[in-house]
Structure 1
Amino acid sequence: MKILKFGGKSLANGKGIQSVIDIIEDKVKSGERITVVISARGKSTDELEQILEVAVKNKDYKEQLAAFKKYQISDFKAMDLTEEFETLDKLFAGVSLIGDYSKRIKDQVLSQGEVIAAKLVTQILKEKGIDANFTDTRELIVTDAQFGDAQPLDKLSKENVVSHFNKYNGATVNIVTGFIASNTKNETTTLGRNGSNYTASLLANYLDADELQSFTHVNGIYTADPELVTDARKIERLSFVEANELAYFGTNVLHAKTIIPLIEKNIPLRILNTFDHKSEGTLITSEASEKGIKSLSVLENVALINLEGRGLLGQVGVDARIFKALAFRGISVSIISQGSSERGIGFVVGADSAKEAKKALEEEFEADFYKRDVSAITIEGNVSVISIIGQDLSTFHKPYNALIKNQVIPLLFNNTITGKNVSLVVRKNQLHKALNVIHGEVFGIAKKINLAIFGHGLVGGTLIDQILKSAKDIQKRKKVDLNIFAVGNSRKVLLEKKGVDQHWKTAIEKQGNSYTIKDVIQFANENHLENLIAIDNTASEAFTKNYITLAKNGFDLVSSNKVANTLSFGFYKELRNILEENQKQYLYETNVGAGLPLIDTIKLLHLSGENITRIKGVFSGSLSYLFNNFSAQERLFSEVLREAIDLGFTEPDPREDLCGNDVGRKLLILARELDLNNEFIDVNIDNLIPENLRAGDAQQFLVRLKELDIVYEKIKKDQKKGHVLRYIGDLHGDLSKEKGILDVKLVSVPQESALGQVKGSDSIFEIYTESYGDQPIVIQGAGAGAAVTARGVFGDVLRLTEKG
């Protein structure tokens, strides 16, 4: 025989109850011997409890009760539930009149949900010609008198069940009420949370069933709740021991009581989906499954109690006093964590028991308060418990570090004696994010990285397209899921939780909204987005003011914008302090040298203790192209400049390149990487624009380009033979002091030198160190272009995913 159990969602009106009937009918037709255990339909139990709470306050409950009755028979007009409805009427009327109710009365009220559901299923099956028998477990399962969470008396219950099934067996399908029973006085009791599953497992045990099939609204047990973690995946097999751990720590489709009767008889349990007949669900047996983390379970409706007191140091028996006081009030503790020498103890209890627990402890430690040995007993509400089932403590640092990186700070954690399960208490408003962070870390599923990209011009737009094009390949190779949830410009932002697609340009114009940076942060928080990175591809000084706010709110930073690193030294240090405090990273490799690995190289050399004595080179790809071609060709300076403009190597107003400020900023960035305290005002810049051409708008300047020819033709002719012109940045002086010397200037260098051999729009950097002497480390390559810069930013993003 197989025991089938159907949950409330499976029995809801419409597709639910029809699917249940179809499953039972198919099994009967295929010749299977089955017994069916039924829960209350839909949310009936919750609704009855709500009506009870209204009635006890002497408020009008009749409208809610009428709605409850209507739902039960709305699709089944011929169903006669007069007896059950009259019972409810009498019970609610009595509660309303007295203004109080006992747990005994509550059990009588709640039991009607199961009775109604079982009678309805029995009636429908009979109408289909199936020999169905309504079976009221109040006549079979005998319990103690603990109303609300009664414990079965096995010997009596088994005798009743076996006797009943000897009478109703063979082709008869018993439709059994779950959750309910009766005590030795024939008073109605209930079996507590998940009681219908418990009923099913008891029957399986008493009847030596071949299998218990528990039908729910999901395809089995998952690595996490699929409603909270979209990447959760189904677990094919579990052992009873693992299932018991999952049940204890809150997995919704299991309960610890359900597992124990099955373990005693080694009866397999299969979790199946009422609405998906093709799924084979999750099979739970006595056989051990593969080692490793199985699932993330969640306990909600809990509270954290903290008992603090320096005077408890060295005192013996504090724990015993706590548990004794709570046990006297019938309060169960699920998780406990103790500070060194008993100066602080935190433990988790049910949310509805928190105030009573606090009162019990205040009474127990009243004298200790008076002596000031206990300083505080507090309740931390709005918390949840996440348990990582199968987590080895030796690798717990990985999910823990990931949580800290995402600014989720556990309030308490502990592990089991075996060291294979770890539980964390987190704030309820961080539960969703915490689950996703841990799940992505421990299951090796693609870790989701949520990107907010600001600025979508040449570099930003190219970057977005590069990410969208490469995303699937990166997910496959690196197990990293890059999700662009925000694209913003100076006016609008496009916000998409599941990420923008290739039509983002059209979408931002049609769907984008005006915004502040707080709107983006709020969107990320409301949607529980983890592993946040903000990417600045603007050239805006105003936008850099958002960096500190972003870092404080959990964003790592990547920037092709050089401004933030060249503002005042005070801002520079403040930003780094905020990053350190919030354990955030800031990468900006493209600030100097576009996609070349320059900043990383300098950081590594400096960190290793290498004394860098000088850095010089061609910092600007635009000016590299300009002077490389002007030096090598017999062409007018204005012609080569016009060509650079047309090729997109310069800014729309080329004076932004020619003034030298861009090279000056890059040089200052490198100086600060060496911990020099230079400001931008310290940079000596050779402005390439004659004074008479510096005023006016860009169009006026472009009309007068030929006026540059006479100036630069003379400079070119005045060079030594075999020399070429290069516009360089040069950081030198005693770099062990507080400040270095920063020069940006046009120089003439031998054509055969490293600087002289640069071609096209390449950049080149010479790094001189104490160890290498006169032989510099040379880094050379493409120094300009949107694609190169975007690829460099992309590289920074990927580096951050590895750091996480």
Structure 2
Amino acid sequence: MTHKKMKVIKFGGISLSNGIGIDNAIAIIKKKIKKGEQIVVVASARGNTTDQLEQLLEKAARGSAYKTALENFKEEQQQPTQNADLSVEFLRLENLLEAVFLLKDCSQKIKDEVLAQGELLAVKMLTSLLESSGITAQAIDARQLLVTDENFGNASPIEALSKEKVLACFNKIDKNVVPVVTGFIAANIKNETTTLGRNGSNYTASLLANYLAAEELQNYTHVNGIYTANPDLVKDAKKIAQLSFAEANEMANFGATILHAKTITPLLEKNINLRILNSFNLEDQGTLITSESNQKGIKSIAVLNQVALINFEGRGLLGKVGVDARIFKALSDQQISVSIISQGSSERGIGLVVDAEKATEAVLALEAAFEMDFYTKDVHRISVIDDVAVVSIIGQDLNNFHHPFNALIKNQIVPLLFNNTITGKNVSLVIKKADLHKAVNVIHGQVFGVAKKVNIAVFGKGLVGGTLINQILENAKAVLDRRKIELKIFAIANSKQVLVNQDGVSKDWAHQLENQETTKLGVETIIQFAKTHHLENLIAVDNTASADFVSNYLPLVSAGFDLVSSNKIANTNSFSFYKTLREALKEHKKEYLYETNVGAGLPLIDTIKLLHESGENITRIRGVFSGSLSYLFNKFSSADIPFSTVLQEAIDLGYTEPDPREDLCGNDVARKLLILARELDLENEFEDIHIENLIPPAFRETSSAKFLSSLADLNAVFTAKKQAQKEDHVLRYIGDLSGDLFQNKGHLDVKLTSVPVSSPLGSLKGSDAIFEIYTESYGEQPIVIQGAGAGAKVTARGVFGDILRLAKNNN
């Protein structure tokens, strides 16, 4: 047959599986013949044939009963048509398995012979079906074409002999005949069956394309082409329209499973295009691999996960010549290939990545080669780290490598080793296999600029918590469109129930939560859920008012969560806890934002932090910290109405707690003042604060119901305070941080004060909060921050702002 404008068409195992797979393959071939294309077909073993043959071999080698499984295998192989005569292959299998069963042993040589039957069965079945469809086809055993060395299981072709045999065979085939060639298998000079290693059918097709000078190699698989990452690991992976041979070669070498690492070279030699196509999606154009790429930058993230890391440590070998050569000779003598190498400079240490199944053999080879060096203590350790994976960023320039690297560190994934290629732009990281799924998603989200996923756990679904959840759900699309950040609430918990969903809760969350089985708060459950589902960019939001819940902050930080809180207790706990929490945040590279702890949604804490960290000397902070007490005294001071009436209005409007004594006692204002003090690195404890409790002693221990029914009894006390003021003065409940703020502690006072109505504090209206920040630079003129100081919506919006700030900072 002539070879001009020929195409080699290779079908993978899934593309030839029973049913729609093999039907589609026949349809594809018929369509090409109808169009007048000249093709050579290369077939892999169909479906999961190779796995089934390996299982049969294992059973036979163990001396286990295998014949029922063999009969089931034969029946499945014959299923597409009874017209295909598979008796020769079936008999050969029976004889080989019987021999293995009797010997209870199986060499790699025998294994190659057994596995070869899968491809032989495939070409016979495909040829028979083509003949039944009216297409003249010829089954060709590649053992008659490709001559290899004797490295059973991963043989290499002898180029000149193989090419000669291929050309001699194909020159005898009529141009109207479709050759159907076995992939994966070959034979050595002794005519013993060999195989070409993992994904070797691709290599067979590539060699034939080279020898026959084909126009294109079309590789039909079960996916639409090559993706930016494995779609099984990364939902957002995108198909790559075009790659260069160099890029494809890098991807193949570093684990792109759709390519064989040796496939590219024969195509590159003859500049033969390779197209990856989906036999189950005939309209898709697939991925074209050609001499040039159509775009610059990072192409893909490839993964090797059947590997082990060998650490070779020999401080006494520092500076000695020939150590590397000895290492690689010892390994190459045992046919052990090294995929990644990383070498320390200050201390003699080399990290080597090898196939997991070769790890023990590699250590034994190195220990033997360096036996004398162990004796002289020049080498002190050769160890293996199992359960690792290699993630390679194909096209990564070291100039920008800090972006994905920082994203990994932020997600508590610390690479064990990394290296980069000298010529190409490619960085490979060795990580723990348990981190693989999360790592690939984190890197993919970072380097391809797709939406960054932020996974949020909300604790507490009361007024603020519930409002926040709804705000996030309502604004998620807008945030995604504007900021390319995908916010997902994957967990909601209250004191009794926990609701989890790895894809994010829906707007029906309240009903779903209510119908959950009663459980504990479930922090450990949620931490484990995030770990199990490899969730990245974790944020825990505390909207409880619980002192007990704060004890969960440290385990959350340790588990990789950033923190956002409207709960003030963590920041007003003992200074020892406050310091321990900050140390944990620093150790785990996590952040804790709590802008709503003081002033609801006002930008107060950020402003104070900025001033303090920039070296500005803050000399005093005072203000009306409570929106509920602001409303109460603003109205009471300006209107001629009883205190009890104003207090009842504040209760009815939801400005106060259900029991307003929680506001009137002053503890809430005191906590806010203490939080600001600690932002200035002061070591004050809550007990240091002088608090004026506005509840008369007689009402402090009574029940809530009794207090609420006796509000009129408060009028005399507060009317007296109002009447005792100077003219044009009003009452304000103020927090005041003063003293020498360069010492370890400041003076903290919380009290009811009379201020001029013309002052910023005196002119306050409604439920606004106001803060005066006095600094050395500004002198007597304070920085004033004023605005809404109360309300679930305002507080929830402030928490939402902290979440967005964290999401943005982590980019």
TM range (shorter): over 0.9
Match of 2:138 in 1: 133
The answer to whether structure 1 residue 770 and structure 2 residue 770 are counterparts is no
Matched AA of 1:473: A
Query: What pairs up with 1:460-471 in 2 under 5 angstroms?
Result: 460-471=465-476
Q: Partner of 1:380: helix, strand, or coil?
A: strand
The whole-number CA distance in structure 2 between the counterparts of 1:697 and 1:64 is 77
Q: Partner of 2:298: helix, strand, or coil?
A: coil
1:104 alignment partner, one of 89, 109, 120? 109
Matched AA of 1:552: S
2:269 alignment partner, one of 264, 269, 276? 264
Deviation at residue 341 of structure 1 after TM alignment: 4.3
The whole-number CA distance in structure 2 between the counterparts of 1:778 and 1:512 is 49
The answer to whether structure 1 residue 632 and structure 2 residue 642 are counterparts is no
User: For each residue in 1:14-62, what CA deviation from the matched residue of structure 2 results, as whole angstroms up to 9, or x when unmatched?
Assistant: 2222222222222223332222111011121122122222222222232
Match of 2:60 in 1: 55
Q: Partner of 1:23: helix, strand, or coil?
A: helix
Matched AA of 1:658: L
1:379 alignment partner, one of 379, 384, 392? 384
Deviation at residue 127 of structure 1 after TM alignment: 1.4
Deviation at residue 714 of structure 1 after TM alignment: 1.5
Q: Partner of 1:502: helix, strand, or coil?
A: coil
The answer to whether structure 1 residue 214 and structure 2 residue 219 are counterparts is yes
Match of 1:799 in 2: 805
Match of 1:779 in 2: 785
Matched AA of 2:590: K
Match of 1:736 in 2: 742
The answer to whether structure 1 residue 157 and structure 2 residue 159 are counterparts is no
Segments of 4+ moved more than 6 angstroms? none
Match of 2:462 in 1: 457
Match of 1:616 in 2: 622
1:87 alignment partner, one of 92, 95, 104? 92
Q: Partner of 1:55: helix, strand, or coil?
A: helix
The whole-number CA distance in structure 1 between the counterparts of 2:257 and 2:55 is 21
Deviation at residue 77 of structure 1 after TM alignment: 4.3
Deviation at residue 652 of structure 1 after TM alignment: 1.0
- Cα pair distance change 1:174/1:511, threshold 3 Å: farther
The whole-number CA distance in structure 2 between the counterparts of 1:571 and 1:342 is 39
The answer to whether structure 1 residue 31 and structure 2 residue 36 are counterparts is yes
Match of 2:197 in 1: 192
Matched AA of 1:774: E
**Comparing 427-436 and 686-695, the one that deviates more:** 686-695
Matched AA of 1:580: K
Match of 1:641 in 2: 647
The whole-number CA distance in structure 2 between the counterparts of 1:314 and 1:183 is 44
The answer to whether structure 1 residue 526 and structure 2 residue 567 are counterparts is no
**Comparing 48-57 and 555-564, the one that deviates more:** 48-57
**Comparing 460-469 and 94-103, the one that deviates more:** 94-103
Deviation at residue 474 of structure 1 after TM alignment: 1.0
Match of 2:569 in 1: 563
Q: Partner of 2:469: helix, strand, or coil?
A: helix
Deviation at residue 572 of structure 1 after TM alignment: 0.7
Match of 1:679 in 2: 685
Matched AA of 1:162: L
The whole-number CA distance in structure 2 between the counterparts of 1:513 and 1:322 is 60
2:416 alignment partner, one of 411, 415, 437? 411
Q: Partner of 1:256: helix, strand, or coil?
A: coil
1:588 alignment partner, one of 594, 597, 600? 594
The whole-number CA distance in structure 1 between the counterparts of 2:255 and 2:11 is 19
The whole-number CA distance in structure 2 between the counterparts of 1:374 and 1:162 is 53
The answer to whether structure 1 residue 503 and structure 2 residue 508 are counterparts is yes
Q: Partner of 2:171: helix, strand, or coil?
A: helix
User: For each residue in 1:469-501, what CA deviation from the matched residue of structure 2 results, as whole angstroms up to 9, or x when unmatched?
Assistant: 111111121111111100111111100000001
Matched AA of 2:792: A
The answer to whether structure 1 residue 363 and structure 2 residue 380 are counterparts is no
Deviation at residue 163 of structure 1 after TM alignment: 3.3
2:557 alignment partner, one of 526, 551, 559? 551
Q: Unpaired segments of 5 or more residues in structure 1?
A: none
**Comparing 686-695 and 47-56, the one that deviates more:** 47-56
Q: Partner of 1:174: helix, strand, or coil?
A: strand
Matched AA of 1:161: V
1:235 alignment partner, one of 231, 240, 258? 240
The whole-number CA distance in structure 2 between the counterparts of 1:585 and 1:547 is 11
Matched AA of 2:52: E
Q: Unpaired segments of 5 or more residues in structure 2?
A: 1-5
Q: Is the 8 A contact 1:393 1:419 kept in 2?
A: no
Deviation at residue 744 of structure 1 after TM alignment: 0.5
Deviation at residue 419 of structure 1 after TM alignment: 6.1
Match of 2:3 in 1: none
1:435 alignment partner, one of 440, 443, 457? 440
Deviation at residue 290 of structure 1 after TM alignment: 1.6
Matched AA of 2:263: T
**Comparing 121-130 and 783-792, the one that deviates more:** 121-130
Matched AA of 2:251: L
Matched AA of 2:494: N
Q: Is the 8 A contact 1:318 1:342 kept in 2?
A: no
The whole-number CA distance in structure 1 between the counterparts of 2:179 and 2:634 is 91
Deviation at residue 70 of structure 1 after TM alignment: 2.7
* TM-score under structure 2 length normalisation: 0.97
**Comparing 680-689 and 123-132, the one that deviates more:** 123-132
Q: Partner of 1:54: helix, strand, or coil?
A: helix
* TM-score under structure 1 length normalisation: 0.98
Figure out how many residues of one structure are paired with residues of the other and give that number.
Answer: 804
The whole-number CA distance in structure 1 between the counterparts of 2:630 and 2:178 is 87
Q: Is the 8 A contact 1:178 1:199 kept in 2?
A: yes
The whole-number CA distance in structure 2 between the counterparts of 1:538 and 1:351 is 48
The answer to whether structure 1 residue 745 and structure 2 residue 751 are counterparts is yes
Deviation at residue 324 of structure 1 after TM alignment: 1.4
The whole-number CA distance in structure 2 between the counterparts of 1:362 and 1:185 is 35
Deviation at residue 315 of structure 1 after TM alignment: 2.2
Matched AA of 2:211: Y
Match of 1:489 in 2: 494
Q: Is the 8 A contact 2:85 2:124 kept in 1?
A: no
The whole-number CA distance in structure 1 between the counterparts of 2:630 and 2:604 is 17
The whole-number CA distance in structure 1 between the counterparts of 2:431 and 2:173 is 50
The answer to whether structure 1 residue 653 and structure 2 residue 693 are counterparts is no
Q: Partner of 1:122: helix, strand, or coil?
A: helix
The whole-number CA distance in structure 1 between the counterparts of 2:136 and 2:79 is 25
Deviation at residue 640 of structure 1 after TM alignment: 1.2
Q: Partner of 2:263: helix, strand, or coil?
A: helix
User: For each residue in 1:592-647, what CA deviation from the matched residue of structure 2 results, as whole angstroms up to 9, or x when unmatched?
Assistant: 01111111111111111111110000000111111111111122111111111111
User: For each residue in 1:360-383, what CA deviation from the matched residue of structure 2 results, as whole angstroms up to 9, or x when unmatched?
Assistant: 111111112122222211010111
Match of 1:286 in 2: 291
1:334 alignment partner, one of 305, 322, 339? 339
User: For each residue in 1:187-220, what CA deviation from the matched residue of structure 2 results, as whole angstroms up to 9, or x when unmatched?
Assistant: 2221111110011111211222221111111111
2:671 alignment partner, one of 665, 676, 695? 665
Matched AA of 1:290: Q
Match of 1:310 in 2: 315
**Comparing 754-763 and 158-167, the one that deviates more:** 158-167
Matched AA of 2:806: L
- Cα pair distance change 1:619/1:407, threshold 3 Å: same
| Identical amino acids, percent of aligned pairs | 64
Deviation at residue 331 of structure 1 after TM alignment: 1.0
Deviation at residue 169 of structure 1 after TM alignment: 3.8
1:344 alignment partner, one of 332, 344, 349? 349
User: For each residue in 1:83-126, what CA deviation from the matched residue of structure 2 results, as whole angstroms up to 9, or x when unmatched?
Assistant: 11110111111112223233221111110000111111111121
The whole-number CA distance in structure 1 between the counterparts of 2:26 and 2:235 is 30
Q: Is the 8 A contact 2:242 2:293 kept in 1?
A: no
Match of 1:12 in 2: 17
Matched AA of 1:117: A
The whole-number CA distance in structure 2 between the counterparts of 1:88 and 1:72 is 13
Q: Partner of 1:728: helix, strand, or coil?
A: strand
Deviation at residue 320 of structure 1 after TM alignment: 1.4
Q: Partner of 2:166: helix, strand, or coil?
A: helix
Q: Partner of 1:28: helix, strand, or coil?
A: helix
Q: Is the 8 A contact 2:83 2:128 kept in 1?
A: no
The answer to whether structure 1 residue 542 and structure 2 residue 545 are counterparts is no
User: For each residue in 1:259-302, what CA deviation from the matched residue of structure 2 results, as whole angstroms up to 9, or x when unmatched?
Assistant: 11111111111111111112111111102332111100011211
